[in-house]
Amino acid sequence: MEAIKAMKSTRIYILCAVTLFLFSNFFIIRTHRIKDYPVEMLEKNYTLDELTIKPESLTGWKRRHYLTRNLNQNQEVRIYITKGDWYTEQDMKRLKYKYDGTLANCDIPCVWKKDNWINWIFRGLKTADALFCVNSPNLPKQKGWEGQKFIEYSLEISYIPGPFDIFVTFKETSDVPTSYIQMDPNEWRKKPPFNITSLSPNSTFISFVASHLTEFRKTWIPTLQAHIPVASYGTVYKNTPWDSECKDFSWSNLKNCVISKYPFYLAIENSQVQDYSTEKLWDTFNLGVVPVVWGAPNTRSYLPHPKSAIFIEDFPNVESLANYLKYLVGNETAYLEYHQWRTMKTWPEEFEKKAYMSRGNMECNVCQEVARLRVVKNLTDV
């Protein structure tokens, strides 16, 4: 009888030991996956600097986003737009979502919604990871919780003051630098160059669309018009009615429709501010047109090719530029040299960075930034 009791006790002891062993190992495995995994990666595969020092190269940005995705461990990021202006009317329409309501084509599970902070008490704004404003502040007096971020998005030159944690602007110095590129530049390759041989003699071969009369435009456009005709649309020196084939389009499509009817376009920006290149430059590449540029002093550094644009500053005077454009109109081979970049298999890195950190990818890049700040806090709080 005593022997039987001893055997039962031994079995119970063994069962308990096995259970404890399995439970302990399960706990260790779970702990390793959830808690120690980031630390292990930190020691072996990357340094904290890669997450805290802002990248300067395309490779650096992709590396940061890769690390953020893995260390974020599929945690959701919720961002609410409290001030939308033009953004909510235009850009949000292009967004696509997964079945669970998060952004499609984004490595971070990101909820991206529009709401008004007046609904502060009744909705999820108080617990959102970030509140997103376009152009001007539209924020509650206090954050909903300590880690909540206030984000300012503006692609304009003017500075927008406010209690913001993250700035999303065209400037490379901002937290999430964002170019005006709105589509995959690989699509630009598919657009055939303007057929220069289709122009009849004495045709107008350059267009201009603007609604803001800057000092440079005020003096320079009439000077150019003294040498060659310029088809001017918009409200600045307008001399050409909207083409009947284009007039029923939305504003951006209307502009692009008329621009595509000329081999050259005057891409004259509002100002020569570093990094400031708007759709005036980028949209022409998708229209088969050559831009004639006056803008950011570093524009050349991020073009798809050195010979993809003509720069006003390269000519000693306006007459020289006008004569060069006339030469290109009469020489198809020379004109097509400005479209050779469309056949390239690779892009320059600085241009690729502009395409990656672009208006078309802005939402996901912002979600990446919010997730990164959370990851860094979790790592440094350990």
- CATH number, domain 185-346, options 3.40.50.2000, 3.30.460.10, 1.20.1260.10, 3.40.50.11660: 3.40.50.11660
Identify whether the C-beta of residue 285 lies closer than 8 Å to the C-beta of residue 311.
no
Query: Angle at which helices 362-381 and 37-44 pack, to 10 degrees?
Result: 100
Q: What are the residues whose beta carbons fall under 8 Å from the beta carbon of 194, sequence distance 6 or more? A: 260, 262, 263, 288, 289, 290
* Greater model confidence, 362 or 83: 362
Q: How far is CA 382 from CA 34, 281, 377, 379, in A?
A: 13, 47, 9, 6
Q: Using one digit for the tens of pLDDT, what is the confidence trace for 116-135?
A: 666 655 567 888 999 998 88
Following DSSP, what letter does each residue of 14-63 receive, concatenated?
A: HHHHHHHHHHHHHHHHHHIIIIIHHHHHHHHT--THHHHSPP-SHHHHHH
In this predicted structure, what is the pLDDT of residue 357? Answer: 97
The C-alpha atoms of residue 235 and residue 210 are separated, in whole angstroms, by 6
Q: Using one digit for the tens of pLDDT, what is the confidence trace for 260-273?
A: 999 999 999 999 99
In this predicted structure, what is the pLDDT of residue 122? Answer: 54
**168 phi/psi in degrees, rounded to 5:** -120, 105
Among 302, 260, 278, which residue's Cα sits nearest to residue 359? 278
**Range of 10-24, 84-98, 127-141, 183-197 with top mean pLDDT:** 183-197
User: The tokens of 367 are what?
Assistant: 């979600």
In this predicted structure, what is the pLDDT of residue 42? Answer: 46
Q: Which pLDDT band holds residue 190 (cuts at 50, 70, 90)?
A: very high
Which residue ranges make up each domain of the chain? 51-178+358-381, 185-346
Q: Using one digit for the tens of pLDDT, what is the confidence trace for 227-247?
A: 999 999 989 999 999 888 887
Q: Which pLDDT band holds residue 213 (cuts at 50, 70, 90)?
A: very high
Q: Using one digit for the tens of pLDDT, what is the confidence trace for 95-104?
A: 999 999 999 9
Q: Any alpha helices (H) in the chain, and if so which ranges?
A: 2-31, 37-44, 49-52, 58-72, 86-90, 215-225, 251-259, 279-285, 318-329, 332-336, 349-356, 362-381
Rounded (to 5) percent helix, strand, coil in the chain:
45, 15, 40
Q: Using one digit for the tens of pLDDT, what is the confidence trace for 278-326?
A: 999 999 999 999 999 999 999 999 999 999 999 999 999 999 999 999 9
List 206's β-bridge partners, or say none: 264
The C-alpha atoms of residue 164 and residue 352 are separated, in whole angstroms, by 28
Q: What percent of the chain has pLDDT over 90?
A: 67
User: The tokens of 101 are what?
Assistant: 């309501």
The C-alpha atoms of residue 145 and residue 36 are separated, in whole angstroms, by 27
Q: What is the mean pLDDT of residues 178-185?
A: 94
Tokens 């389009």, located at residue: 249
In this predicted structure, what is the pLDDT of residue 110? Answer: 97
**304 phi/psi in degrees, rounded to 5:** -65, -20
For β-strands 130-134 and 77-83, DSSP reports them as parallel
In this predicted structure, what is the pLDDT of residue 65? Answer: 96
The C-alpha atoms of residue 148 and residue 77 are separated, in whole angstroms, by 11
In this predicted structure, what is the pLDDT of residue 121? Answer: 55
In this predicted structure, what is the pLDDT of residue 158? Answer: 75
The C-alpha atoms of residue 228 and residue 305 are separated, in whole angstroms, by 27
**219 phi/psi in degrees, rounded to 5:** -95, -35
Following DSSP, what letter does each residue of 152-166 receive, concatenated?
A: EE--SSS---SS-SE
Q: Which pLDDT band holds residue 30 (cuts at 50, 70, 90)?
A: very low
Q: What is the mean pLDDT of residues 133-143?
A: 81
Compute, in degrees rounded to 10, the torsion defined by CA atoms 179, 174, 268, 135: 90
* Greater model confidence, 226 or 382: 226
For β-strands 166-168 and 231-234, DSSP reports them as unpaired
Contacts of the segment 305-312: beta carbons below 8 A, 24+ positions apart: 305/340, 305/341, 305/344, 305/348, 307/337, 307/338, 307/340, 307/341, 308/338, 308/339, 308/341, 309/267, 309/281, 309/338, 310/264, 310/338, 312/220
Return mean pLDDT, the chain: 86
Q: Report helix, strand or coil for 184.
A: coil
- So what's the architecture of 51-178+358-381 in CATH? 3-Layer(aba) Sandwich (3.40)
